[in-house]
């Protein structure tokens, strides 16, 4: 792609200081997420869980029906198992985003290797999460890092605020 006759250079990064709870500052070099980041995650099986559903019933226990006679189904978004899986999904997205954004940092090296197309990205994300935890990252550290990645990737501030609590 060319803009004003110039070939666009896609390699850019930003050095950030992550303030740790112990007062130490961690210098990290991050790069923006690529355009197809979320699509690639979905293709690799990192997808949000669907809440369980049940048939809506009236006060006498009979199924509630819509205008076409079909039973009305309601989502159980407060289901505890669903909430746990939903939290895991957001943790996986956050750690994969962080690892991808940190790929260009010469001072950061992950023991977990990015899987090929046949290997499990869910396991990879869980291994990355374990690495971040063992390195002493807190939920706040991960949220701060993800917010910086979102800013650098030009993701909307509304999106950050809406989903920020899910990165913990």
Please give the average per-residue pLDDT across 140-144, as a whole number.
Answer: 91
- DSSP at 158: H
Instruction: Give tens-digit pLDDT for 83-92.
Output: 999 999 999 9
Q: Judge whether 143 and 168 are in contact, CB under 8 Å.
A: yes
Q: pLDDT-based confidence at 161, cuts 50/70/90? A: very low
Q: Are 89 and 48 in contact, with CB atoms under 8 Å apart?
A: yes
pLDDT band at 155 (very low <50, low <70, confident <90, very high): confident
Q: What is the mean pLDDT of the chain?
A: 87
Query: What's the distance, CA 162 to chain centroid?
Result: 12
3-23 per-position pLDDT tens digit: 677 776 667 789 999 987 778
Q: Which residues of 61-88 are buried (b: 16+ CB within 10 A; e: fewer)?
A: eeeeeeeeeeeeeeeeeebeebeeebee
Which candidate, 102, 81, 86, 94, places its Cα nearest to that of 133? Answer: 94
Q: How much is the pLDDT for 160?
A: 45
Q: For residue 110, what pLDDT is reported?
A: 95
CA separation for the pair 15, 29 (Å, rounded): 4
| pTM, rounded to two decimals | 0.80
Q: Are the beta carbons of 115 and 121 closer than 8 angstroms?
A: yes
- Give the pLDDT mean for 18-44: 88
């Amino acid at each position: 792609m060319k803009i004003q006759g110039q070939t666009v250079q896609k390699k850019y990064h930003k050095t950030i200081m992550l303030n740790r709870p112990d007062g130490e500052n961690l210098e990290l070099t991050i790069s923006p997420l690529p355009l197809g980041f979320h699509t690639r995650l979905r293709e690799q099986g990192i997808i949000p869980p669907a809440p369980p559903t049940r048939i809506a019933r009236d006060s006498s226990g009979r199924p509630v029906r819509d205008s076409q006679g079909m039973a009305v189904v309601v989502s159980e978004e407060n289901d505890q198992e669903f909430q746990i899986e939903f939290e895991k999904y957001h943790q996986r997205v956050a750690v994969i985003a962080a690892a991808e954004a940190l790929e260009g940092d010469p001072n950061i090296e992950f023991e977990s290797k990015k899987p090929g197309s046949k290997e499990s990205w869910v396991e990879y994300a869980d291994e990355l999460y374990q690495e971040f935890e063992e390195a002493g990252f807190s939920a706040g550290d991960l949220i701060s890092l993800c917010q910086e990645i979102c800013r650098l990737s030009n993701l909307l501030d509304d999106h950050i605020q809406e989903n920020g609590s899910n990165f913990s």
